[in-house]
Amino acid sequence: MVSLVVRRLLWSVPVLLVVATLTFGVMHAVPGGPFDKEKKLPPRIKANVEAKYHLDEPLWRQYLLYLGGLSRGDLGPSYKYLGRTVNDVIAETLPVSAELGALAFLFAAGLGIGFGFLAAVKGGAIDRTNILLATIGISVPSFVLGALLVLVFSHLFHLLPPALWEDPRHAILPALSLGLAPAAYIARLTRSAVLEVLGREYIRTARAKGISEGVILWRHLLPNALTPVVTILGPLTAGLLTGSLVVEYIFSIPGMGKFYITAATNRDYPLIIGVTLVYAILIVAANLAVDVINAYLDPRIRLE
């Protein structure tokens, strides 16, 4: 178990290094620099600015400088938010995104596992409704849902604020927009996993031994049915990150995603590379967490 974690952690270092290098390469291959504006800067000033950020040095030196900073955990200065480093911007925006992501995650996992479980166990009309709702859920892009929610709850009934991130009421619509598609997806997956486990012989054996339904549920059914569900929580985190980008844009939430979009339009290279790296770290961490939880749920994985 410990060796699994250590091995995966070691492996994540080259992955992140490649991600950093690729992003760095792409950013510097893009035509047009961060200081090309409609109003041309005087050549001397431009040269000064570029010298300040080492943009006048050969690419390989810029790359080494960047990696040097990276090894000290320094993501460099932001080109557009003057006087602030990328670390500052991330430290300020990541908590907001994390809060939104965590809310959406809880909503998605709670609703998805609950509904999927209910549908599989009860069957009949509940099951059919669940399948229909889940298919609708995965077919609605978050921005469509977000727009609809704002239209109904903010503009029509004036119940909830349409934008910004201040008190808890601001979190409801964004979390719903972000969480619905994952919820629908988890519901589908949970349903099929529970159905599969219910058909297994060890469940019948447990019933034949006269074990109470409660124990069967908690000891036999859930741990086995949740393995595939836990497995997709890794990719789900990736999905939530991607989604939060859009949802933050729609609701003007000052999170990492909104800054990423602005940085992309502004060519703020260090900020783009920095946020991309944070995304990659989060995904690698999520996948690792998934493997650990699965090893805990399923002893067979532990032995590998």
Partner 1 sequence: MTEQDFNTWRRIWRHGPTRWGGIVISVFLAVALLGPLFSPYPYDLQDPSSLLQGPSLRHVMGTDRLGRDLFSRLIYGTRISITVSVVTAFSALILGTAYGAVSGYFGGRTDNLLMRGVDVIYALPDIPLIILMTLFLGRGVLGIFFALTVVGWVTVARLIRGEVLRLKEFAFVEAARSLGASHARILITHILPNTLGVLIVTLTFRIPSAILAESTLSFIGLGLAPPAASWGTLANEGWSALRFYPHLILFPSMVIFVAMMAFNLFGDGLRDLLDPSRRPDPRRLV
Summarize as ranges the residues that interact with partner 1 (CB under 8 A). 12, 15-16, 18-19, 22-23, 26-27, 29-30, 135-136, 138-144, 147-148, 150-151, 155, 181-182, 185, 188-189, 192, 228, 232, 235-236, 238-243, 245-246, 249-250, 260-261, 264-265, 267, 272, 275-276, 279-280, 283-284
State the nearest-atom distance from the C-beta of 178 to partner 1, in Å: 9
Nearer Cβ to partner 1 (51/144): 144
User: Are 179 and 108 within 8 A, CB to CB?
Assistant: yes
Output b/e per residue, 83-118; b: 16+ Cβ within 10 A.
Answer: eebbbebbeebbebbebbbebbbebbbebbbebbbb
State the nearest-atom distance from the C-beta of 33 to partner 1, in Å: 12
User: Cα separations (Å) of 99 from 103, 224, 244, 245, 254?
Assistant: 6, 30, 11, 13, 12
Nearer Cβ to partner 1 (22/45): 22
Q: What is the largest CA-CA distance in the chain?
A: 86
State the nearest-atom distance from the C-beta of 269 to partner 1, in Å: 10
Nearer Cβ to partner 1 (53/249): 249
Residue appearing with tokens 């589908």: 188
Nearer Cβ to partner 1 (138/203): 138
CA torsion sign for 125, 128, 134, 135 is negative
Query: 274: part of which helix (H) or strand (E)?
Result: helix 269-297
State the nearest-atom distance from the C-beta of 52 to partner 1, in Å: 23
User: Are 166 and 267 within 8 A, CB to CB?
Assistant: no
State the nearest-atom distance from the C-beta of 132 to partner 1, in Å: 9
Nearer Cβ to partner 1 (247/297): 247
d(CA 109, CA 118): 14
